[in-house]
Amino acid sequence: MAVADDIALIRKQEETLVFSAFDEAVAFKIGSAIRKRAIAENLPIIVDIRLWDRPLFYAAFPGSNASNPDWARRKINVVRRFLRSTYRMVLEQQRPDRAFKLGEGLDISDYVLAGGGFPVTVKGAGVIGVIAVSGLPEREDHGVVVDALCDHLGIDKHGLSLSREAE
């Protein structure tokens, strides 16, 4: 799939994976679903779900390491700043150094171009938070979040999932 096709599909994901409401209970259900998958598939990830004012769910799994929470934090900052998924930003920016252009004024220690951060969007309110996964290749981090959101929202993931192949 071409990069432009992936970007279009991610935009569709962002437009489709919208909540009617989002609170601590919803965050726990989604986080628990990601946890269950991580355990079943031995995924070496961390998951961090938060609203802009506070964390709601966090879990780390065997094989994850001390840098994963920092990667997640920087992905969270990108979603908060641009209100879109970090993997979409990766594909749009095409920056192999993982840094934003110098003119953006975004320090690499606080912002990173890496997939795995996805906006929590509520109908009528907009983007209110983020779900971040870190530990797998970025396309897979992104896919873990999208799969969990599709399952939670009752949306067929086959029509929204990126192909498993590398870009």
How much is the pLDDT for 164? 75
Whole-angstrom distance, CA of residue 88 vs CA of residue 94: 10
118-165: pLDDT as tens digits: 999 999 999 999 999 999 999 999 999 999 999 999 999 988 999 876
Whole-angstrom distance, CA of residue 9 vs CA of residue 66: 32
In Å, how far from its chain's centre is CA 140?
10
What is the pLDDT confidence band of residue 1, given thresholds at 50, 70 and 90? low
In Å, how far from its chain's centre is CA 3?
18
Whole-angstrom distance, CA of residue 153 vs CA of residue 139: 21
Question: Would the pLDDT of 76 be above 50?
Answer: yes
Question: Would the pLDDT of 15 be above 60?
Answer: yes
Average per-residue pLDDT for the chain? 95
53-67: pLDDT as tens digits: 999 999 999 999 999
Instruction: Quote the tokens at residue 157.
Output: 């993931």
Domain spans of the chain?
A: 3-159
Question: Would the pLDDT of 167 be above 50?
Answer: no
How much is the pLDDT for 155? 96
CATH code of domain 3-159: 3.30.450.150
Instruction: Quote the tokens at residue 137.
Output: 């290749």
How much is the pLDDT for 7? 96
Q: Is 160 exposed, middle or buried (0-12, 13-18, 19+ CB in 10 A)?
A: middle
Q: For the residues 14-21, what does the mean pLDDT come to?
A: 98
Above pLDDT 90, what percent of the chain?
87
The closest of 70, 79, 56 to 134, measured between CA atoms, is 70
Q: What is the 3-state secondary structure (H, E, C) of 80-129?
A: HHHCCCHHHHHHHHCCCCCCCCHHHCCCCCCCCCCCCEEEEEECCCEEEE
What is the pLDDT confidence band of residue 70, given thresholds at 50, 70 and 90? very high
Helices 138-153, 24-41: crossing angle, 10 deg rounding: 130
